[in-house]
Amino acid sequence: MSDLEEFQKEVGITDQVAVQGGRTHWNVGGSLGEGVRVVLPPVGIDSFDPSEMTVSVKAGTQIEDLNNELSIHRQEVGLEGTRGSTVGGALVVGRDSIRRNRIGSIRAMLLQAEYINAQGKIIKAGGPTVKNVTGYDLCRLLVGSLGTLGLISQVILRTRPLPEESIWLQGEASPKKVREACFRPSSLLWNGREAFVQLEGYGADVKSESSKLKKLGFQEQGKECPIEIPEFRHPSVSDINLEEGVVDVYNSIYYSSKEPKTLKHTDEVLRLGRRMREMFDPEGRLNPNRDPYKAGP
C-alpha cells in the first residue's frame, strides 16, 4: 500500500478528523474541540524537474526541507513559515508572504492538489502544468480553507529561481517615496516613522535600486528582515495608529501585538461559505469547529 493510500485509510469514512502539520498555526480559525481524530499527512518529495520549474511534494513535507532541496538547483517555492511548518499547513492557512511582490500569491503557486474528501475518496484538482485548468478552480479553493473542504495529501507547486542577491534597507522615507524611487521591491514595511525595504533579483539590478534608496538616506541592513514583525494580522486601513506594529504595504496587512477583533463579513458571503462547506462535507467531518471566516486576513 502506498503512503497516500495509507493516509486515505487513516482518514477513513467515519468520525470527525483533522490533519496535523507542524502545529505552528494549529488554532487559527478556532480550536478543534474534543473527540476529533488527528492524522498525519504523508511526507516526501516525489519529483522535481528543475527545467519545468514544478515540484510534486507530499503535504506533510516541511517547507524548510523542500526549500533546502530546491536550493541545490537555485530554486525555491514561495511558501514560508516558522520552523516545522508543512506544505499542506501553509496552503490551507493560506497566508501570503511579505515577499509576495516577488514570489506571487500562495494561490498562484499551487498547480494541482490531491486530497481526501469527506467521503474518504481521493480527488485530484488542477493540473501539473501552468495552463490546463478549465471550469472552477477547485484546487485553489483549498487555499485558506483550513482543511474544511478536503485533507490534502499531495500537491504540485510552481517553483521560482532564487534571487542572485537579496538585501534589506532601512530609512526615514514614506512608503510613497520608496515606491517612486524603486521599480519593484520584494517587501515594503512601514512602522509609521521608517520604511524597511527588501530588494531582490540580479546583483546589478539590486545595486542600482539600492543606490536610489541610499540617496534618500537609507542604509543597508543585511539579508535578514531588520524589524521584528508582531504576531497578529489585521487588515490595513489608513487611520491605523502606528504607535506600535508594522504595515506590510504591498499586502495591506497591519501586524500588531494586539489580537484583532473578529472580521465582519456580509450575511450573503457567510451563507455562501456555509452552503459550500455543507456540500463538500455534509456531516461536518473535516476540521470541525475551524472557521476560515474567523481566521483573519
Summarize as ranges the residues that interact with ligand FAD (CB under 6 A). Answer: 18-26, 28, 41, 59, 78-82, 84-86, 88-90, 92-93, 95-97, 106, 146-147, 151-152, 287, 290
Least distance between ligand FAD and beta carbon 204 (Å): 27
Residues in contact with 225: Cβ distance below 8 Å, sequence separation at least 6, in sequence order: 98, 168, 187, 189, 196, 198
Instruction: Please say which residue, 60 or 201, places its beta carbon nearer to ligand FAD.
Output: 60
Give the residue with the Cβ less far from ligand FAD, 35 or 134: 35
Query: Closer to ligand FAD at the Cβ: 217 or 260?
Result: 260
Rg (CA), the chain: 20
* CA angle, 297 then 271 then 106, to 5°: 30
Pairing of strands 37-39, 17-19: parallel
Pick between residue 150 and residue 201 the one whose CB is nearest to ligand FAD. Answer: 150
C-beta of 163: minimal distance to ligand FAD in Å?
15
Q: Which is nearer to ligand FAD, 43 or 240 (CB)?
A: 43
Please tell me the distance from the alpha carbon of residue 185 to that of residue 257, in angstroms, as a whole number. Answer: 25
Cell of 145: 480553507
To ligand FAD, the closest distance from the beta carbon of 212 in angstroms equals 27
Cell 485553489 maps to which residue?
A: 140
Which C-beta is closer to ligand FAD: that of 108 or that of 240?
108
Q: Which amino acid is at 271?
A: R
Residue 56 contacts residue 73 (beta carbons within 8 Å): no
Q: Which is nearer to ligand FAD, 110 or 178 (CB)?
A: 110
Contact between 39 and 10 (Cβ < 8 Å): yes
CB of 258 to ligand FAD, least distance (A): 17
Distance of CA 269 to the CA centre of its chain: 22
165-171 sheet: strands from edge to edge: 219-222, 165-171, 195-201, 187-190, 246-248, 253-256, 232-235
Q: To the nearest whole angstrom, how small is the minimum distance from the Cβ of residue 244 to ligand FAD?
A: 18
Strand blocks (E) in 172-218: 187-190, 195-201
CB of 38 to ligand FAD, least distance (A): 8
Closest C-alpha to 66, from 100, 4, 109, 6:
109
Torsion of CA 197, 251, 293, 134, to 10 degrees: -130
CB of 264 to ligand FAD, least distance (A): 22
Of 173 and 297, the one with the shorter C-beta distance to ligand FAD is: 297
Residue 282 neighbours by CB distance under 10 Å: 10
Least Å distance between CB 208 and ligand FAD? Answer: 27
